[in-house]
Amino acid sequence: MKLPKIRRGKDFIDWCRVIMNQSTLSLIQNLDTSSMNALEISGRDWKKKCKFKEYTNVFYPEFDVCNPNPIFEKESYDIIFAEQVFEHVKDPKKGLQEVYNLLKPNGYFLITVPFFIMIHGSPEDYQRWTPDGFRIFLESENFKILELNSWGNKECAISYLSLDKLESFDPDKHSLENDPFIPLMIWALVQKNV
């Protein structure tokens, strides 16, 4: 199946991510990241957002969260980021176990996933969670949930159903009012229980 191409310029602001990005940044800025070793899975944004003692980013297929390379030692990271990654993981439970293993005791994991967003390969797209299902998924691996949130609304959802007309977020035009019954994005900051 060929996926539609979404045209996004460098100034494009992804409407469905505005609140999630603000919330996750606020959560992480409340931590003392300057003393942390960080791992970002399939991304590079957090290096620009915070200061870390050490920062590493990795990408699939060189790094597979279900089968990380042995050079990634267990209990090596104070914080791990996986934004919009786990919907692409064939065995998310195993991936979550590996994240748990890579975290130091009391380490943090910031994870974001879509709920009501088009199927998008990278290379494949396998799952979605409701907020309640996401909570159960994270607690199944003995993570303590510090914050779990979702955001979405009907107007934004409709815009994503018309991908050829998808616009950059415009605060004068678009609503950021949340409708908890139409979650587009879900995110959580969790901590490794020991």
What digits encode the pLDDT tens for the residues 53-98? 999 999 998 889 998 877 788 889 999 999 999 999 999 999 999 9
Q: What is the pLDDT of residue 122?
A: 73
Question: Average pLDDT of 178-187?
Answer: 96
Across 6-39, b (16+ Cβ under 10 Å) vs e yields: eeeeeeeebbbbbbbbebbeebbeebebeebbbb
Q: What's the order of all strands across the beta sheet hosting 54-58?
A: 54-58, 37-41, 77-83, 103-114, 185-192, 143-151
Q: What is the pLDDT of residue 119?
A: 73
Domain assignment present for 2: no
Q: What is the pLDDT of residue 96?
A: 97
Domain assignment present for 93: yes
Q: What is the pLDDT of residue 163?
A: 67
Flag whether pLDDT at 7 surpasses 80. Answer: no
Domain assignment present for 3: no
Mean pLDDT of the chain: 90
Domain assignment present for 10: no
- Count structural domains, the chain: 1
pTM: 0.92
Q: How far apart are CA 60 and CA 65, in angstroms?
A: 8
Distances (CA, A) of 20 to 36, 88, 127, 151: 22, 19, 19, 7
Question: Average pLDDT of 115-121?
Answer: 79
The answer to whether 178 and 135 are in contact (CB under 8 A) is no
Residues 6+ apart with CB under 8 A from 62: 69
Domain assignment present for 177: yes
CATH code, 115? 3.40.50.150
Q: What is the pLDDT of residues 14-44, one digit of tens each?
A: 888 999 999 999 999 999 999 999 999 999 9
- Confidence band of 12 (pLDDT split at 50, 70, 90): confident
Domain assignment present for 26: yes
Flag whether pLDDT at 121 surpasses 80. Answer: no
Q: What is the pLDDT of residue 127?
A: 92
Q: What is the pLDDT of residue 4?
A: 54
Q: Name the residue among 59, 116, 125 with its Cα closest to residue 87.
A: 125
Owning domain of residue 71: 15-192
